[in-house]
Amino acid sequence: MKGYVFHGPGHASWQEVPDPGVKDPADAIVRVDAVTICGTDLHILKGDVPGVRPGTVLGHEAVGEIVEIGSNVHSVRPGDRVLVSCITACGRCRFCRQGTYGQCQGGGGWTLGHLIDGTQAEYVRVPFADLSVHALPGTLDGKDAVLLADIFPTAYEVGVLNGHVRPGDTVAVVGAGPIGLAAIATARLFAPERIVAVDLAATRLEAARHLGADAVADAREAPEQLVADLTDGLGADVVVEAVGVPESFEMCTRMVRPGGHVANVGVHGRPATLHLEELWARNVTITTGIVDTSSTPTLLRMAAAGRLPTSDLVTHTFPLDDMEEAYDVFGRAADTGALKVVLGGEQHEVVAVRAA
Ligand SMILES: [Zn+2]
Ligand SMILES: [Zn+2]
Q: Give the whole-angstrom CA distance, residue 228 versus residue 170.
A: 10
Q: Give the whole-angstrom CA distance, residue 168 versus residue 193.
A: 4
> Which residues fall within 8 angstroms of residue 217, CB to CB, at 6 or more apart?
196, 197, 198, 205, 223, 226, 227
Task: Give distance in angstroms: CA of 61 to centre of ligand 1.
Answer: 7
- Whether the pLDDT of residue 353 is over 90: the answer is no
Task: Give distance in angstroms: CA of 135 to centre of ligand 2.
Answer: 20
First to last CA, the chain: 28
Ligand approaching nearest to the C-alpha of 36: 1
Give residue 179's pLDDT: 96
Task: Give distance in angstroms: CA of 178 to centre of ligand 2.
Answer: 28
- Whether the pLDDT of residue 148 is over 90: the answer is yes
Ligand approaching nearest to the C-alpha of 154: 1
Residue 332 burial by Cβ neighbours in a 10 Å radius (0-12, 13-18, 19+): exposed
pLDDT tens-place string over residues 172-185: 999 999 999 999 99
Question: What average pLDDT is seen over the chain?
Answer: 94
Ligand approaching nearest to the C-alpha of 110: 1
Task: Give distance in angstroms: CA of 129 to centre of ligand 2.
Answer: 13
pTM for the predicted model, two decimal places? 0.94
Q: Give the whole-angstrom CA distance, residue 326 versus residue 341.
A: 7
What 3-state DSSP class applies to 45?
A: helix
Ligand approaching nearest to the C-alpha of 151: 1
Q: Grade residue 346 by pLDDT with cuts at 50, 70 and 90.
A: low
Task: Give distance in angstroms: CA of 17 to centre of ligand 2.
Answer: 29
What 3-state DSSP class applies to 251?
A: helix
Question: What DSSP string describes 258-317?
Answer: EEEEEEE-S--SS-----HHHHTTTT-EEE------TTHHHHHHHHHTT-S-GGGGEEEE
Find out whether 149 and 83 touch, Cβ atoms under 8 Å: yes
Ligand approaching nearest to the C-alpha of 88: 2
Task: Give distance in angstroms: CA of 198 to centre of ligand 2.
Answer: 36
Task: Give distance in angstroms: CA of 147 to centre of ligand 1.
Answer: 9
Other residues' Cβ atoms within 10 Å of the Cβ of residue 281: 8
Task: Give distance in angstroms: CA of 152 to centre of ligand 1.
Answer: 10
Give residue 330's pLDDT: 96
- Whether the pLDDT of residue 170 is over 60: the answer is yes
pLDDT tens-place string over residues 251-281: 999 999 999 999 999 988 899 999 999 999 9
Q: Which of 228, 231, 251 is nearest to 239 (CA)?
A: 251
The amino acid that residue 26 corresponds to is: A
Ligand approaching nearest to the C-alpha of 182: 1
Ligand approaching nearest to the C-alpha of 85: 1
Which domains are seen in the chain, by residue range? 2-150+293-352 (3.90.180.10), 157-287 (3.40.50.720)
Ligand approaching nearest to the C-alpha of 42: 1
Q: Give the whole-angstrom CA distance, residue 282 versus residue 261.
A: 11
Ligand approaching nearest to the C-alpha of 178: 1
Alpha carbon distances (Å) from 285 to 238, 243, 256: 10, 19, 10
Task: List beta partners, residue 318.
Answer: 343
Pairing of strands 123-126, 28-36: antiparallel
Task: Give distance in angstroms: CA of 24 to centre of ligand 1.
Answer: 25
Ligand approaching nearest to the C-alpha of 291: 1
Helices 202-210 and 178-187 pack at an angle, to 10 degrees, of 20
